[in-house]
Amino acid sequence: MIKPNPITNKPEPIPSGSAPKILRFAVLPFDSQAIAFDAERIMRYWINNRLQRRGYQTLALDKIDAVLKTSHGITQGGQLRSTTAEALGKSLDVHGLIYGDVGAFDGVNIAVLVKRKVQISLKMVDPQSGRTRWTGEGESFMANIAVKKDSIIDNFIGGLAESYKRKKSRTLFDEIAMDAADQSLFDFPKGVY
């Protein structure tokens, strides 16, 4: 179990001997304040991916989505407030629920300036008690400013290529999205909560 630190009010682990092992997580649909229409989908994918790469077991995202839709009528992250963690945990049969909020997923490409920014906040909730057991935040930023004619042309052509790539693949934000995901999961509990 995790108790809040009285000074920082952040969750603080207690000795691992008294906490159950986390066997399976559900990375729920994320909420988003970002302008990009697919920000929550992209960041949810990367959080799930990064958890799996760290050795954690997660349910398939499409399975989570199907259960949420049929059992709770939920299709978007913002709708998760309409039910309890206990109800979600029971229908998904998991030991930890990962909630996420994409604060920023913004990009600018105007030849002279190419800029990307991603911010995410996460929390893990124990579905049996409904208590938050862990929180994490991540932010990543990239900027490229061109001052020479060749650099401006490269930025412009690169921006067009990235726009095309975005339509054909996951996202042009892959590198900074992965970085923000890694930052947000930096102190994720190691097998206990």
Instruction: Quote the percentage of the chain above a pLDDT of 90.
Output: 42
Residue 146 contacts residue 111 (beta carbons within 8 Å): yes
- DSSP tag of 178: H
Token duo for residue 157: 């052509």
Token duo for residue 25: 């997580």
CA distance 122 to 37: 19
Higher-confidence position of 188 and 37: 188
**82 burial type by CB count under 10 A (0-12 exposed, 13-18 middle, 19+ buried):** exposed
Taking the model in full, what pTM does it have? 0.73
CATH topology assigned to domain 21-184: Rossmann fold (3.40.50)
* 99 three-state secondary structure: strand
CA distance 105 to 126: 28
- pLDDT tens digits along 107-158: 766 656 667 788 999 999 999 999 999 999 998 877 766 556 666 666 666 6
**Which pLDDT value is given to residue 45?**
94
- pLDDT tens digits along 63-102: 999 999 999 999 999 899 999 999 999 999 999 999 999 9
